């Protein structure tokens, strides 16, 4: 067994073991080259699709795996433990794009796009953030969608979009009624072959290299009205509900990375000799390992409790109340724990941890952004406090 927890059922534990073995065989050896080139090998999505790891929460009738939310979290954790970059790319596709389409799109759109997104022939992304709209993504959004006959015409720029440079389908947020502010936003499915869509640049990142991140431009990009996801001017509900699930599942990208950092730190501590003994024999090194383990378990425990609360979240639910507060708290803790664990992991590895080509160095460069993406640590605290102070 890779782990045991009373938060997950024996069949989910079996799923985790199977997923870990499969991911390790298929992807682990790709990590170093992905870190060098920042490219995702073309085989990754078809391989994930063939093995049934795409559309984790999408019912089987659309080609998905039909799993519950906690099972998707468990798989996300094992994938991130094997390859943080593939884990991020997978979650952006599967949760941010695919699950949002499944939960909010019309039956016609579900049938048109979900089978390809679930077999790995189509890659998905979600475009919310803009150069001038990060933490204030909704209020400061400048991208517009102007109605023209049966179409909407999109204009604007999205930045830091995971899978943006390789996506076939982008779930894009745009203002359909700019005068209504955040209440005038709508979500659209955009095929990236549409004239007027352009990848302006692939961004050069510090970590998560191999998970391509890009700047996307929409210049008179014409999309049929039937590609609206959710209600016209109802984008806020789609985003906020989706963001709660995103925060809950991204906790497991974090715990997957930190579990791997602990594993390699234990191995290193047992094998590295100084003063004629393994460094694991020194109590100060033991203390670091104990602190790392404890932080991971605290984060995982909260993450599993949060995942259980997300089970069966209805369309349009979330984005407020208990679930909003708890998902923000869970990702806040998971991200902080990951930064702590990665810092200690580098310390245990000594000078070798500072060398760019080591696995611990790759993880250290990668994990930091978990305090920024899906809402920063500060925004997470704002959410928690505003829920605590309501009424
Ligand atoms: C690798 C990566 C992948 C990403 N993937 C995606 C994606 O797939 N799709 C997508 O749409 N976006 C994506 N993002 C964007 C991400 O969600 C944003 O970077 C994040 O929301 C923060 O926005 P910002 O970078 O503009 O920072 P800013 O909002 O400019 O924040 C800068 C600093 O100011 C602080 N701050 C801002 N407002 C407040 C406030 N009110 N109170 C206190 N402090 C405040 C922030 O906490 C932060 O410390 C990704 C980002 C990265 C780095």
Q: Evaluate: CB of 375 within 6 angstroms of ligand 1.
A: yes
If one residue of 129, 137, 240 were mutated to test the ligand 1 pocket, choosing by the most ligand atoms within 8 A of its CB, it would be: 129
Centre of ligand 1 to C-alpha 375, Å, is: 6
Q: DSSP H helical segments within the chain, as ranges?
A: 10-27, 31-37, 44-50, 69-82, 84-91, 100-104, 107-119, 235-271, 283-310, 321-348, 359-367, 377-388
* Residues 162 and 293 occupy one common structural domain: no
Catalytic residues: 246
> From CA 173, how far away is CA 187, in angstroms rounded?
4
Domain with 89 in it: 10-123
| Residue 4 resides in a domain | no
Centre of ligand 1 to C-alpha 372, Å, is: 6
* Residues 195 and 255 occupy one common structural domain: no
> From CA 187, how far away is CA 179, in angstroms rounded?
17
Q: Evaluate: CB of 255 within 6 angstroms of ligand 1.
A: no
* Residues 203 and 245 occupy one common structural domain: no
| Residue 2 resides in a domain | no
| Residue 36 resides in a domain | yes
Ligand 1 atom index nearest CA of 129? 11
* Residues 222 and 102 occupy one common structural domain: no
Centre of ligand 1 to C-alpha 233, Å, is: 23
| Residue 1 resides in a domain | no
Per-residue pLDDT of the chain (391 residues; tens, 9 = 90+): 444 456 788 899 999 999 999 999 999 999 999 999 999 999 999 999 999 999 999 999 999 999 999 999 999 999 999 999 999 999 999 999 999 999 999 999 999 999 999 999 999 999 999 999 999 999 999 999 999 999 999 999 999 999 999 999 999 999 999 999 999 999 999 999 999 999 999 999 999 999 999 999 999 999 999 999 999 999 998 898 889 999 999 999 999 999 999 999 999 999 999 999 999 999 999 999 999 999 999 999 999 999 999 997 877 677 788 999 999 999 999 999 999 999 999 999 999 999 999 999 999 999 999 999 989 999 999 999 999 999 7
| Residue 3 resides in a domain | no
* Residues 214 and 267 occupy one common structural domain: no
Strand partners, 125: 170
* Residues 169 and 100 occupy one common structural domain: no
- Dmax over CA atoms of the chain, in Å, equals 78
Report strand pairing: 124-127 vs 151-162.
unpaired
Q: Evaluate: CB of 203 within 6 angstroms of ligand 1.
A: no
- Tell me, what CATH number does 316's domain have? 1.20.140.10
| Residue 74 resides in a domain | yes
Q: Which of 196, 213, 229 corresponds to the end of one domain?
A: 229
Nearest CA to ligand 1 atom 50: 160
Residue 347, token pair as written in the block: 């310390």
> From CA 249, how far away is CA 177, in angstroms rounded?
31
* Residues 76 and 160 occupy one common structural domain: no
Considering the entire predicted model, what is its pTM?
Answer: 0.96
* Residues 259 and 326 occupy one common structural domain: yes
* Residues 253 and 354 occupy one common structural domain: yes
* Residues 118 and 78 occupy one common structural domain: yes
- Structurally, the chain folds into a number of domains equal to 3
């Amino acid at each position: 067994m890779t782990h045991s927890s009373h938060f997950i059922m024996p069949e989910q534990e079996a799923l985790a073991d199977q997923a870990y073995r499969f991911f390790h065989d298929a992807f682990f050896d790709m990590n170093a080259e992905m870190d060098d080139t920042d490219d995702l090998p073309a085989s990754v999505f078809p391989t994930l699709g063939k093995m049934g790891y795409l559309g984790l929460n999408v019912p089987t009738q659309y080609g998905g795996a039909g799993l519950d939310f906690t099972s998707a979290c468990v798989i996300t954790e094992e994938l991130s433990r094997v390859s943080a970059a593939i884990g991020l790319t997978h979650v952006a596709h599967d949760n941010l794009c695919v699950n949002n389409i499944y939960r909010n799109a019309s039956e016609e759109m579900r049938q048109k796009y979900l089978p390809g997104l679930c077999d790995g022939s189509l890659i998905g992304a979600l475009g919310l953030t803009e150069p001038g709209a990060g933490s204030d993504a909704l209020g400061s959004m400048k991208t517009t969608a102007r109605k023209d006959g049966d179409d909407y015409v999109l204009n604007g720029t999205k930045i830091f979009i995971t899978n943006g440079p390789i996506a076939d389908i982008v779930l894009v947020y745009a203002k359909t009624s700019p005068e209504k502010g955040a209440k005038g936003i709508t979500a659209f499915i955009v095929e990236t072959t549409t004239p007027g869509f352009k990848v302006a640049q692939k961004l050069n990142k510090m970590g998560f290299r191999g998970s391509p991140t890009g700047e996307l431009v929409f210049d008179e990009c014409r999309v049929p009205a039937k590609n609206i996801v959710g209600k016209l001017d109802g984008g806020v509900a789609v985003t906020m509900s989706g963001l709660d699930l995103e925060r809950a599942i991204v906790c497991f990208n974090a715990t997957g990375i930190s579990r791997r950092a602990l594993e390699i730190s234990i191995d290193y501590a047992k094998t590295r000799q100084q003063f004629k003994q393994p460094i694991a024999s020194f109590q100060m090194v033991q203390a670091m390992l104990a602190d790392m383990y404890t932080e991971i378990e605290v984060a995982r425990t909260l993450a599993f409790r949060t995942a259980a609360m997300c089970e069966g979240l209805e369309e349009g639910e979330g984005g407020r109340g208990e679930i909003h507060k708890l998902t923000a708290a869970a990702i806040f803790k998971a991200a902080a724990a990951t930064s702590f664990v990665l810092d200690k992991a580098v310390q245990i590895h000594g000078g070798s941890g500072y060398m760019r080509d080591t696995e611990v160095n790759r993880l250290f460069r990668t994990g930091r952004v978990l305090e920024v993406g899906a809402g920063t640590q500060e925004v997470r605290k704002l959410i928690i406090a505003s829920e605590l102070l309501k009424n």
